[in-house]
C-alpha cells in the first residue's frame, strides 16, 4: 500500500468521523496516570466530605470570570483542618471542578496562594459515586510499607512498553522491577524518600508524571505514581495487544492506536500480512471501532484476502461482513493497482476448497468480480 493511498484512506476516515461523530469534550491537561487514593491522599492538604452551601463567581479582568468559590459545610474530615465550614476555589480553566449547590461531595484540596483550591484532575467527585473511594481512604496509612506504582508508555498512543528494568533508590535500600505486558510495574518499599531511574536510553520521565521520579516520598500505607515515556520504535506483538483488549476493552486500545498514526499504520500493515494473530487483533478492534477507524480495519483485512482467503472468510459474520472485506480496498489507487488486486483475490477465492465456506466464498467472489467502480463512500 503506497504512502499516498494510506494517507487518503486515513483522511477519508477522518472526514467521515467529523461528519458522523459528536465533537469531543475539552479535557484538562492532567498529570499521568490518573491518581489512586493512596497517592493523592498524601499530596492533598485537605481531604473531606462536604455539602455545597453556596457558589460565588470571582470576577477577573474585563468580563472574564477568574473562577468560583464554594462555601462548603464539612461533615467529615479525613485530612487537614477540622472545621465546620470551608471555602474552596476552582480556577476557570480546563482543569476546573464545578460543584452544584446542595450536593454532597468527596473533595481533595490544596492550599495555594492563601486559598483552598480544588480541581478536576483527581478523585474529587459526588459522594454518591465515591463510596469505594471512602473505603480506600479508610485503609490509607495502615501497614508498615508503601508502594511505588509506575507505567512506561509510548506517546501519543499511551501503549505500554514491556520488559524495561526500573531501579528505585532510597537512603539505604535499592529495589528493582521490570515493566509488564501493559508497561506497568510496582514495588513494595519501606517508607522514605526515593528516586526511580529506568535502565534504557530510550525511556525518560514524563513531564506530567503524577510524582516526580527524581525525588518523591512514600509514606507508610501510602504510594507514589510515576509515568515514563519511550521513544523506542513500536514493535508490540499481537499477543500483547490482545491482552490489552481483553483487559481494557477494544475501544480504549483502538483510540490510543488511532491517535498515533505511525503505530496505527504498523498495526494495519501487520493485519494485511494475513497472520492469524493479527487478524484476531482486527476482529477484536473492529468491535470498538467507529466510522473513523472501521474503514481502515476493513481495508486491511480485505488486503489480506489474496494471501489467506480461508482465514479472512472465517471472519465474515464474526466481526466483519461480506461488504466490509469483499471489496476493492483502495481510495484513488494508482493505475492498475485495483485491477491487480481483483485478479489476485479472485484467483485465491477460486482456488479455495472448503465445503464449510462454500456459500460465503461464492458470495465474496461475486462481489470481488463485479466491475470496478469508485470506492464506496
341 and 302 in one domain? yes
Does 282 map to a domain?
Answer: yes
150 and 132 in one domain? no
79 and 179 in one domain? no
304 and 202 in one domain? no
311-344 pLDDT, tens digit per residue, is 999 999 999 999 999 998 988 888 888 888 999 9
239 and 360 in one domain? yes
226 and 244 in one domain? no
69-89 pLDDT, tens digit per residue, is 999 999 999 999 999 999 999
The pLDDT score that the predictor gives to residue 93 is 84
Distance CA 144, CA 189 (A): 9
Kindly state the average pLDDT of the residues 179-184: 89
With cell 454518591, the residue in question is: 128
Write the burial class of residue 251 (CB in 10 Å: 0-12 exposed, 13-18 middle, 19+ buried). middle
44-64 pLDDT, tens digit per residue, is 999 999 999 999 999 988 889
Does 377 map to a domain?
Answer: no
> What is the C-alpha end-to-end distance of the chain, expressed in Å?
19
49 and 9 in one domain? no
364 and 238 in one domain? yes
261 and 220 in one domain? no
Residue 219: pLDDT band by 50, 70, 90 thresholds? very high
Report the percent of the chain where pLDDT is more than 90.
Answer: 63
Does 376 map to a domain?
Answer: no
Kindly state the average pLDDT of the residues 149-162: 82
Domain boundary among 209, 230, 251: 230
Does 375 map to a domain?
Answer: no
Q: Is the pLDDT of residue 224 over 90?
A: yes
Domain that holds residue 364: 3-21+234-368
| C-alpha cell at position 105 | 461531595
β-pairing verdict for 159-160 and 146-154: antiparallel
pTM summary value: 0.59
What domain count does the chain have? 3
255 and 361 in one domain? yes
- Of 225, 223, 269, nearest to 30 (Cα)? 225
Distance CA 35, CA 224 (A): 9
Amino acid at each position: 500500500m503506497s504512502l499516498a493511498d494510506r494517507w487518503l484512506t486515513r483522511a477519508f476516515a477522518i472526514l467521515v468521523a467529523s461528519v458522523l461523530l459528536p465533537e469531543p469534550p475539552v479535557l484538562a491537561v492532567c498529570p499521568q496516570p490518573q491518581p489512586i487514593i493512596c497517592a493523592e491522599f498524601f499530596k492533598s492538604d485537605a481531604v473531606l466530605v462536604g455539602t455545597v452551601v453556596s457558589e460565588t463567581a470571582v470576577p477577573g479582568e474585563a468580563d472574564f470570570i477568574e473562577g468560583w468559590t464554594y462555601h462548603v459545610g464539612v461533615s467529615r474530615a479525613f485530612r487537614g483542618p477540622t472545621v465546620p465550614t470551608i471555602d474552596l476555589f476552582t480556577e476557570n480553566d480546563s482543569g476546573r471542578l464545578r460543584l452544584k449547590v446542595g450536593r454532597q461531595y468527596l473533595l481533595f484540596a490544596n492550599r495555594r496562594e492563601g486559598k483552598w483550591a480544588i480541581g478536576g484532575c483527581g478523585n474529587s467527585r459526588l459522594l454518591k459515586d465515591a463510596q469505594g473511594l471512602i473505603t480506600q481512604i479508610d485503609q490509607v496509612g495502615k501497614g508498615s510499607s508503601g508502594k511505588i506504582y509506575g507505567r512506561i508508555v509510548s506517546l501519543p498512543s499511551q501503549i505500554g512498553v514491556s520488559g524495561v528494568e526500573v531501579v528505585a533508590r532510597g537512603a539505604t535500600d535499592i529495589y528493582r522491577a521490570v515493566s509488564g505486558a501493559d508497561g506497568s510495574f510496582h514495588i513494595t518499599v519501606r517508607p522514605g524518600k526515593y528516586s526511580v531511574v529506568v535502565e534504557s536510553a530510550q525511556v525518560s520521565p514524563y513531564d506530567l508524571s503524577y510524582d516526580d521520579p527524581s525525588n518523591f516520598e512514600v509514606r507508610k500505607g501510602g504510594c507514589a505514581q510515576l509515568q515514563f515515556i519511550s521513544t523506542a520504535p513500536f514493535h508490540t506483538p499481537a499477543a500483547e495487544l490482545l491482552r490489552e483488549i481483553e483487559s481494557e476493552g477494544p475501544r480504549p486500545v483502538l483510540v490510543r492506536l488511532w491517535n498515533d498514526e505511525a503505530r496505527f499504520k504498523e498495526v494495519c500493515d501487520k493485519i494485511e500480512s494475513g497472520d492469524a494473530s493479527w487478524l484476531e487483533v482486527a476482529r477484536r478492534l473492529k468491535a470498538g471501532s467507529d466510522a473513523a477507524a472501521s474503514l481502515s480495519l476493513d481495508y486491511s483485512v480485505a488486503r489480506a484476502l489474496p494471501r489467506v482467503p480461508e482465514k479472512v472468510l472465517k471472519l465474515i459474520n464474526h466481526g466483519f461482513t461480506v461488504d466490509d472485506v469483499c471489496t476493492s480496498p483502495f481510495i484513488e489507487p494508482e493505475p492498475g493497482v485495483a485491477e491487480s488486486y481483483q485478479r489476485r483475490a479472485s484467483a485465491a477465492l477460486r482456488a479455495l476448497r472448503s465445503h464449510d465456506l462454500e456459500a460465503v466464498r461464492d458470495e465474496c467472489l461475486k462481489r470481488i468480480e463485479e466491475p470496478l467502480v469508485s470506492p464506496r463512500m
